[in-house]
Structure 1
Amino acid sequence: MRRVYSAADLADAHILLGLLIQRGIAARVLQQHARGGLGELPFAETAPEVWIEDDADFERARAVVRAYETAHNEAASRRCPACGEASPASFDVCWNCGGRL
């Protein structure tokens, strides 16, 4: 088994797990309930992790992870039509030039 992803939260881990399974990569989420130890354990030690079962699938799994992260990051920001600067998707006004997004 090999870790391919440390998730921000449990939902994030299960989304990626589903993507891996759709592509025929056997995987599982570990540390699903570790957040209960937050405060007693360091934050990084409680994050849900996605592990693949067969190390031979590592490169294919990493490609799925990269595609997921790219799509997630692009959805989290928008480009300003006036100046081209990236702003968070929740912004209505560009942080750089004040233009309407």
Structure 2
Amino acid sequence: MKKLRAFSPHERPLATLLKGRLEQEGINCLLRNEELFAAMGEIPFLELRPELWVVDDEVLPRARLLLDNWLRQDEGAEPWRCPACGEDLEPQFDMCWKCGRERP
């Protein structure tokens, strides 16, 4: 098992989203320190960071490439509005959290 990336505590939703994307690609992974934010102030700050780990070491290069590509795409992307319900969404989301419609 290898660590793919550590996130800041406020990036927990992004870490969860990327874990789901990797699993859709058939890459078995897990998110560590996911719930430690509740211990803020009691545990050193750096130990609160969510970490994305790949279970199979052999797929680490592929997982890293996918992750880098997704993050690069999201950097320049603009927020979007769901055509079905009008909800404003951040660029990293491929589907509307409110109604479930996929991004056009």
Partner residue, 1:40 = 42
Following superposition, the deviation at residue 64 of structure 1 comes to 1.3
Partner residue, 2:6 = 6
Partner residue, 2:53 = 51
Which of structures 1 and 2 has the bigger CA Rg?
1
Which aligned runs of 4 or more in structure 1 are off by greater than 4 angstroms? none
Q: Provide TM-score, normalisation by structure 1.
A: 0.67
Partner residue, 1:98 = none
Structure-to-structure mapping, 1:85-96, within 5 angstroms: none
Following superposition, the deviation at residue 42 of structure 1 comes to 2.4
Q: Taking structure 1 as reference, are residues 56 and 15 closer, same or farther at Cα in structure 2, changes over 3 Å only?
A: same
Q: Provide TM-score, normalisation by structure 2.
A: 0.65
Letter in 2 for 1:57: V
Q: What are the Cα deviations for residues 44-90 of structure 1, in whole angstroms up to 9, with x where unaligned? A: 210111111000011001001101221232237xxxxxxxxxxxxxx
Aligned equivalents of 1:50, 1:4: Cα separation in 2: 5
Q: Where does structure 1 lack aligned partners over 5 or more consecutive residues?
A: 77-101
Q: Taking structure 1 as reference, are residues 44 and 73 closer, same or farther at Cα in structure 2, changes over 3 Å only?
A: farther
